[in-house]
Amino acid sequence: MKNTQFAYATIDPDGTRLLSQELGCHPVTAGLIWSRGFTTVESARFFLNPDLGHLTDPFAMKDMQKAVERIHTAVVNKEKILIFGDFDADGVTATALIHEFLSLVDANVTWYIPHRIKEGYGITPVHAQMAANQAIDLIITVDCGISGTDVVAAAAKEDMDVIITDHHEPGPDLPPAAAVVNPKQADCQSGLSFLAGVGVVFFLVMALRKFFREQGVWKIFPEPDLIRFLDLFVVGTIGDMVPLIQENRVLCMAGIKQMQKNARPGIQALARAARIDIKQLDSDDISFKMVPRINAAGRMSHARICVSLFTSRETADAQKTAFLLDELNVRRQTIEREIINDIENRILQDPALLKDRLLILWDQKWNPSVLGIAASKLSKKYVCPVLLLSCNQEVAMGSGRSINNINIHQALTENAHLLEKFGGHAMASGLTLSLDRLPDLVSGLKSHLKTNYTHADFSKILTIDAELKLEEICFDLALDLDRIRPFGMANPEPLFLARRLKVISSHIIGRSHRKMLLQNADTDTGPVVEAFHFNVPDIQQAPVFYDRLAFRLKISKFKPCTPQMIVEDV
């Protein structure tokens, strides 16, 4: 592994002192708020206590008016509507959300999630023909479709309209759909480009509710409180790792409260299966416990399981489905470990695999469904982009993950002439290509990286938010830090640095997790703080002294009022 470089957040002492006084928060918390760009008391106060009264008008999104008018016509005329979603956490929550909303007005609506392996990502002309065979009148895509020009053409031949809702990067030519609702369109002025697919759908539902009100729909049906849909919003948004800023932050905070108080049966069952206390649920529980189980359905079986889970009203049925997801996730973890061990052995035998700042490997035995997770872990370990592909005699398909500011989607775009299909965003992409074009792709990607990036782009860099002395690490600080949750992209969990610490006791939990008590190395009488170091690389050589230690600060879930240091790097 490469040595870690530390960067340090810069703050203004006078500005953060003012924020601390005016907001009644810990000085360290004030510094974190300042470093995130909230440098006035007013903006910082809204960051800590956002409200739903300042959401962007959904009709600011391009084509929103067209979309709601066409959907309203379909509802009134009892046209058959098909919701076509994606197979990840974002796609299934978006599918469940809009299906449930349209069901409230007795729409003739059904949904479809493609099989990850047999059908692949996104809607195709084959799906359009399937919809025509079912006499569908209107297709609404969620979390996919932005590159579906051929799909719209195929649908038009069958007198079907298509409304595309998506958040992936548009190409130069947009599909000629009845409406394209995607805030990443260059001429969309909404400023909502950070939304996940479920976020775009939630704004569509906001617009539909308003339009339905104007058209008198709620005189026939009870008007819903959209708070009820925010549990789906938060799971999909956190699961898709989009920036937790602005509307995403506001709605995720409200969504977590909704999950804690009154989550739907499927969410409650999923929490039980994942051994989460839903009353204390936070963004970490969603990211690391719920989302992997949701995604395991699409990877190991079929993601339609999850839509059924989220739309279920029966607790017993939801519980059975949630525990099935738990079993699928265990199976996924086993397969993933086998692939990573295989790759680690290859690197051990041939270290030159890493010399060109790119790790790209393929194998016919690998399950393509778990390659994205494996690539993510390896990219973090080796600090370089990683592409892993499963291949047969003719075709290779797989996933890529990137690091720092290296845009893997851009790299693939430059080599698009070699690919049959690809998609995604800067940090994660999926791709399919002919097996005989793999050598050319390897050369093209390496050339792109060499031309566009420098050695510094391939360094592991951790940004330290503040340096703390051991006596400053206390329950009050850990509790105050919770005010800036939920953590995620663009609002990362704070990272701190402590120096000169000695280990006064330690033991190994499980195979490789080290639980320690730490004390200032220059004294025998100072405070002692509990620390965990997960996945210690060499437990036989675990140090008894740390010159410096980067860590996260949490409150123990097993010892109330006890702060814990979670070691990030040494």
What the chain holds in terms of domains, given with CATH numbers, is 4-44+462-569 (2.40.50.460), 58-227 (3.90.1640.30), 350-458 (3.10.310.30)
Is residue 36 helix, strand or coil? Answer: coil
Report the sign of the C-alpha dihedral through residues 450, 451, 452, 453, in that order: positive
- Residue 84 CA, chain-centre distance (Å), reads 20
DSSP-derived secondary structure for 47-87: HHS--GGGPPPGGGSTTHHHHHHHHHHHHHTT--EEEE--S
Tell me the β-bridge partners of 554.
Answer: 564
pLDDT at 3: 67
pLDDT along the chain (570 residues), means of 10: 76 94 95 94 93 94 98 98 96 98 98 91 94 98 94 96 95 93 95 97 98 97 96 96 93 95 93 94 93 94 96 94 96 96 96 92 93 94 95 89 92 94 83 94 95 89 92 93 90 94 91 91 88 84 90 88 90
Instruction: For residues 23 and 41, give the distance between their C-alpha atoms in angstroms, rounded to a whole number.
Output: 7
Q: Which helix (H) or strand (E) holds 296?
A: helix 291-300
CA dist list (Å): 566 to 7, 286, 489, 493, 533: 19, 18, 19, 11, 6
86 burial level (CB within 10 Å; 0-12, 13-18, 19+): buried
Phi and psi at 523, nearest 5°, equal -150, 155
Find all residues with CB under 8 Å of 542, minimum gap 6, and list them.
503, 506, 514, 533, 536
Backbone dihedral region of 169: left (phi > 0), alpha (psi from -120 to 50 degrees) or beta? beta
Say which residues have a Cβ less than 8 Å from residue 271's Cβ, sequence separation at least 6.
263, 277, 278, 281, 285, 290
Nearest to 463 by CA among 29, 4, 3: 4
Determine the Cα–Cα distance for residues 300 and 117; give it in Å rounded to an integer.
10
pLDDT of residue 272: 95
